[in-house]
Amino acid sequence: MDGVRGEITLLLHKMGGGDSDAEERLFALVYGELRRLARIYMRHERSEHTLQPTALVHEAFLKLIGTPPINWQNRHHFFAVSAQVMRRILVDQARRRLRKKRGGKNRPISPEEVILCSYDDPELVMSVHECLLRLAEIDERQSRIVELRFFGGLSIEATATILCISPKTVQRDWNYARAWLYGQLKDGHVYAA
Partner 1 sequence: MQHNWDNAKSLFEAALQQPADQRPAFLQESCSDPGIREEVQKLLAYHAELGNFLTTSPLQRGRPVSESRGPLKAPGDLLARRFRVAQFLARGGMGEVYEAEDLELHEHVALKMVRSEIATWYPNCLQRFKREVHLAKRVTHPNVCRVFDLFRHSDTGENGDPEEELIFVSMELLHGETLSDRLRRGPVNPGEALAVVSQVSGALDAAHTVGVLHRDLKPGNIFLSADGSRGTRVVVTDFGLALSLDEVRTDPANPPSQGEFLGTPAYMSPEQLLNQDLTPASDVYSLGLIMYQMVTGVRPFEDETPNCTASRRLTDKIPSPRTVAPDLDKVWEGVILKCLERDPSRRFQVAGQVLSALRSDSGPVRFFPKARRNSIAILPFVNTSGNPEMDYLSDGITETIISTLSRIPKMRVMAHSTVFRFKGRLDDPQNIGRQLDVASVLVGRVFNRGNMLKIGVELVDVANGRQIWGEQYNRNFVDVFEIQDDIAKEISTKLELKLSSEEKKHLYKRQTQNTDAYQLYLKGRFFWNKRTEHDFRTGIDFFSRAVAIDPGYALAYSGLADSYTTQSFLCPHIPPRELMPQARQTASKALSLDSGLAEAHASTGIIDLRYDWNPISAEKSFQRAIALKPSHAIAHQWYGECLAAMTQFDRSITELKIAQDLDPLSPIINSVLAGMLCFGGQYDQAIEQCQCTLEMHKEFWLALYFLGLSHECRGEFDQAVSAFQRSAVAAQKNPMTLGGLGHSYARAGKKSEATNLLNELRALSERSYTSPVNLALITLGLEQYESAFAELDRAVNARVGWMVFLQADPRFKCVRTDERFGGILQRVFGSPEERRSA
Residues 120-159 that bind partner 1 (CB under 8 A): 120-121, 124-125, 128, 138-139, 146, 149-155, 158
Size of site (CB under 8 A) for partner 1? 74
What angle (nearest 5°) sits at the alpha carbon of residue 54, between those of residues 27 and 28?
Answer: 10
Interaction of residue 31 with partner 1, rule CB under 8 A: no
Distance separating alpha carbons of residues 81 and 23, to the nearest angstrom? 9
Task: Provide the minimum distance between the beta carbon of 85 and partner 1 in the complex, in angstroms, as a whole number.
Answer: 11
Which part of the chain contacts partner 1 (CB under 8 A), choosing from 19-27, 97-105, 119-127? 119-127
Query: Whose Cβ is closer to partner 1: residue 20's or residue 71's?
Result: 71
Query: Whose Cβ is closer to partner 1: residue 70's or residue 164's?
Result: 70
Task: Tell me which residues in 74-93 interact with partner 1 (CB under 8 A).
Answer: 74, 79, 82, 86, 89-90
* H or E, element range at 37: helix 20-44
Interaction of residue 46 with partner 1, rule CB under 8 A: yes
| The binder of partner 1 chosen from 20, 43, 106, 192 (CB under 8 A) | 43
Give the closest residue to 7 by CA, choosing from 32, 34, 31, 25. 25
Other CB atoms within 10 Å distance of the CB of residue 170: 25
* Contact yes or no for 89/116 (Cβ under 8 A): yes
Interaction of residue 44 with partner 1, rule CB under 8 A: yes
Phi and psi at 138, nearest 5°, equal -85, -45
Interaction of residue 181 with partner 1, rule CB under 8 A: yes
Interaction of residue 32 with partner 1, rule CB under 8 A: no
Distance separating alpha carbons of residues 81 and 75, to the nearest angstrom? 10
